[in-house]
Amino acid sequence: MNALKIILGSALFLGIIVLLLGLFVAEPGYYVKRSTTINAPAETVFPYVSSLKAMDAWSPWSEKDPNMVNTYEGTDGTVGAVNSWTSNVEEVGVGTQTITKIEPNKSIHTHLSFKKPRENESDATIRLTETEDGKTKVTWGLRGSYGSIERLVMMFVDIEGAVGPEFQKGLDKLKTQVEQDNVISASKDKMPANAN
């Protein structure tokens, strides 16, 4: 009987320690960001990041589920526009993204509400910073906070390792799209007026 009490007491003590770690030591939230530099001015890059439909064209999650269902509400590219998505692929899940702020040629801010595979709220920002040589640094960031119990669970989850590479993949695709379109556009501008 004494051995059982010792085991139960030890388990309770360890449980309390883990709970305290979750509440006082674990990070209260997360911030993930990635950047790339695109060989184009900010005004050229901005249309690719300033609307929800434009984002879908280079989103890494669109590639994960070509059968994902997207619906749009409001005027895309303006504050209040909403993209809702539904996917049977666990990494994509179900949720909404709402444009909350736009600074032309500088940034777009959105709020994400994830419903599945687990509920979570996050805020994302895409910032454009022109460099001295006429290129644009694009930084994609995601910020969110954890509830008390979630903090405990997330001590054992590497959200940076899960989200960071996906952000980089999306930014790499964005860079390719913008730069290829920019080359094609520049080539057309150089064509004679009577060229087919």
Q: Read off the DSSP letter of residue 192.
A: -
| Long-range Cβ contacts of 78-84 (<8 Å, 24+ apart) | 78/102, 81/51, 81/52, 82/52, 83/52, 83/53, 83/55, 83/56
The 3-class SS string of 118-155 reads CCEEEEEEEEEEECCCCCEEEEEEEEEECCHHHHHHHC
pTM (predicted TM-score):
0.76
Among 3.30.530.20, 3.90.850.10, 1.10.10.10, 3.40.800.10, name the CATH number for the domain at 28-189: 3.30.530.20
Spell out the per-residue pLDDT of the chain, length 196, in tens. 566 666 666 665 555 555 445 445 455 667 889 999 999 999 999 999 999 999 999 999 888 888 999 999 999 999 999 999 999 988 889 999 999 999 999 999 999 999 988 788 899 999 999 999 999 999 999 988 766 556 555 555 566 767 788 999 999 999 999 999 877 655 454 444 444 4
96-114 per-residue burial string, b: 16 or more CB within 10 A, e: under 16 = bbbbeebeebebbbbebeb
